Chains A and B, each alone.
Chain A
């Protein structure tokens, strides 16, 4: 089944404790991206990647890192999480630059 898989689904952590949210897609998509969704703000792009080893900042990259060492994986790293990073996170992939996005099922992160 074609899908984007994120883990974990739920994560509660404390300020400053490094964490990684994994994302993997099995559709051989070139493009992958991370979004956060907050009430009233809609989805905002954190980082995106157009191919292996090619990543760039989205609209809200501060406090986040990503890597794209393999085509299928695009982990999101929070080196030192803070409470304002409490949010619902989605990974997405796309066949091409203007094709529809396929989303993972989300990671709800709470930073206390």
Chain B
């Protein structure tokens, strides 16, 4: 089993739709979680950190479920510009910078 797993997609959704991605992680001691967005052939950019209590940033909501070991990203009212690959990033434990783990990404395609 991979340490961080994501559904590769693609998720094809119309504009205005709500879409959600999950990311599962295998190390229960994982401490920090992030969602990054990566446009085609460009560098990943931080979308949002994921906090234990869940957090929202505009149309984006991130949640953490420690019991089931997954994080989620919900995008409401999808825009064409949301089309990208979304990477889940997990830091397994404090002081484990060398163990930063990336998921392979979930591709989202928003169409008119």
A-side residues, CB < 8 A to B, are 31, 33, 35, 40-45, 48, 50, 56, 58, 88, 90, 94, 97-98, 100-106, 108
Contacts and interface: CB of A to CB of B under 8 A. Distances in A.
B103 A42 contact: yes
Given A35-B102, A98-B32, 7 more contacts: A33-B100, A42-B4, A42-B87, A42-B104, A43-B102, A100-B49, A101-B46
B41 A100 contact: no
Contacts of B44: 43, 90, 101, 103
Interface of B: 4, 8, 31-32, 34, 41-46, 49, 87, 89, 91, 94-98, 100, 102-105
A103 B43 contact: yes
Chain A contact surface mostly? strand
Contacts of A35: 102
Contacts of B94: 97-98
A45 B92 CA distance: 14
Contact of B43 (A31, A33, A45, A105): A105
B45 A42 contact: no
B97 A106 contact: no
The 3 closest A-B pairs by CB, nearest first: A42-B104, A103-B43, A97-B97
A45 B46 contact: no
A45 B41 contact: no
A94 B104 CA distance: 21
A98 B103 contact: no
